């Protein structure tokens, strides 16, 4: 390749790089706008045209913290952590039985799990709602934990399976030759190798639970309401509410944002249920 075309291509890449930067800024702009709004003085929030330069204030963030946010955060945390733990505990052995030591008709089982993910939640919500009312489990965080577990289980099984299939068979066989029993080979060989996958699976489940809205809005009232429900309380239609709302939205999106940014290389694999690395 001549240097002229190499230089040309570099220039071309730089030009496309500028386009990519512009696209990135456009995409992230609503989020920046949300952040700016959350930092504005109340008088600057509902101006038209918008105010771009202002003395930032944290008063809206303190409003949010004064609005009884703690129970909502605790509920979200409980629902996310416990359902993620249960999902991982159920999905990992199941994925094992669908990959390394497969049961007969493993692909049927695999498709059964994904088909439960395709079923619209609305088709099952009424019996669940009535049952929880009847047995006094409506507005209870453990009900949400169970429902979120079933919501994330198929995803976790598919994902864990794809990680387990990456454990080289030679390593497992070598372990068997050395006399490693099933438990030992799981503990000493398989778990260390799939632990990054396990972490990625847990992260995806955490994200989906933290953000879930439909079940939370229908099955909780006051005791078990999670973070997304907290946001609804800020809609008042009066001018500066937008700043409080933005501050709350920034705060509540923050855990998932940070986790997603840190783990962005794992994100695509989780979202595609392990089909794409």
Partner 1 sequence: MTDVITRAEAHTEAPPPVPRGGARERWVRRAPLLPALIFAIVVTQVPFLVTIYFSTLSWNALRPGSKKFVGIDNYVTVLTDNRLRAALLNTVVLTAGAVIFSMILGLALAILLDRKFFGRSIVRTMLITPFLIMPVAAALLWKHGIYNPDYGLINGIFGGSTAWATSYPKTAIITTLVWQWTPFMMLILLAGLQSQSNDVLEAARMDGANAWRIFTRMTLPHLRQYLELGALLGSIYLVNTFDAIYTITQGGPGTATTNLPYEIYQTIFSKFEYGEASAAGVVVVILTIIVATFALRVISGLFKVEEGR
Q: Which of residues 57-116 bind partner 1 (CB under 8 A)?
A: 90-91, 93-94, 96-104, 106-107, 109, 111-116
Q: With respect to partner 1, which residue has the nearer C-beta, 101 or 188?
A: 101
Closest separation in Å from C-beta 23 to partner 1 = 6
Site for partner 1 in 134-153 (CB under 8 A): 146-147, 149-150, 153
Site for partner 1 in 154-193 (CB under 8 A): 154, 157, 161-162, 165-166, 169
Applying CB under 8 A, what is the total number of residues that bind partner 1? 106
Closest separation in Å from C-beta 233 to partner 1 = 11
Would you put residue 49 in left (φ > 0), alpha (ψ -120 to 50) or beta?
beta
- Inter-residue contact 207 to 94 (CB < 8 Å): no
Which among 75, 215, 77 is positioned nearest to 147, based on CA atoms? Answer: 215
Site for partner 1 in 117-136 (CB under 8 A): 117-131
Which residue's structure tokens are 């944290």? 58
Residues 6+ apart with CB under 8 A from 175: 184, 185, 188, 189
Residues 6+ apart with CB under 8 A from 105: none
Closest separation in Å from C-beta 51 to partner 1 = 9
Q: What span, in angstroms and rounded, lies between the C-alpha atoms of 189 and 171?
A: 8
- Inter-residue contact 99 to 165 (CB < 8 Å): yes
Q: With respect to partner 1, which residue has the nearer C-beta, 114 or 199?
A: 114
First to last CA, the chain: 32
The mark string for 206-235 relative to partner 1 (x by CB under 8 A, - otherwise) is -x--xx-xx--xx--------xx--xx--x
Q: Is 256 in the site for partner 1 (CB under 8 A)?
A: yes
């Amino acid at each position: 390749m001549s240097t002229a075309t190499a230089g040309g291509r570099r220039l071309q890449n730089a030009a496309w790089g500028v386009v990519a930067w512009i696209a990135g800024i456009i995409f992230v702009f609503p989020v920046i706008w949300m952040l700016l709004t959350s930092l504005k003085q109340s008088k600057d929030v509902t101006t038209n045209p918008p105010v771009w330069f202002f003395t930032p204030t944290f008063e809206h963030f303190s409003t949010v913290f004064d609005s009884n946010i703690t129970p909502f955060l605790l509920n979200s945390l409980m629902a996310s952590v416990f359902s993620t733990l249960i999902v991982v505990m159920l999905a990992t052995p199941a994925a094992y039985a669908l990959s390394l030591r497969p049961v007969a008709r493993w692909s049927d089982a695999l498709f059964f799990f994904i088909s439960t993910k395709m079923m619209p939640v609305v088709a099952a919500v009424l019996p669940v709602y009535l049952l929880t009312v009847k047995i006094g489990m409506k507005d209870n965080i453990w009900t949400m934990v169970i429902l979120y577990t079933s919501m994330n289980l198929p995803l976790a099984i598919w994902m864990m399976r794809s990680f387990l299939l990456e454990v080289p068979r030679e390593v497992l066989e070598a372990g068997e030759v050395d006399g490693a029993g099933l438990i030992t080979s799981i503990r000493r060989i398989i778990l260390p190798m799939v632990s990054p996958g396990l972490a990625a699976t847990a992260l995806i489940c955490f994200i989906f639970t933290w953000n879930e809205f439909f079940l939370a809005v229908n099955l909780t009232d006051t005791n078990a309401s999670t973070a997304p429900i907290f946001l609804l309380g800020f809609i008042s239609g009066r001018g500066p509410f937008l700043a409080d709302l933005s501050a709350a939205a920034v705060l509540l999106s923050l855990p998932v944002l940070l986790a997603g940014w840190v783990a962005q290389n794992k994100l695509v694999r989780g979202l595609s249920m392990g089909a794409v690395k």
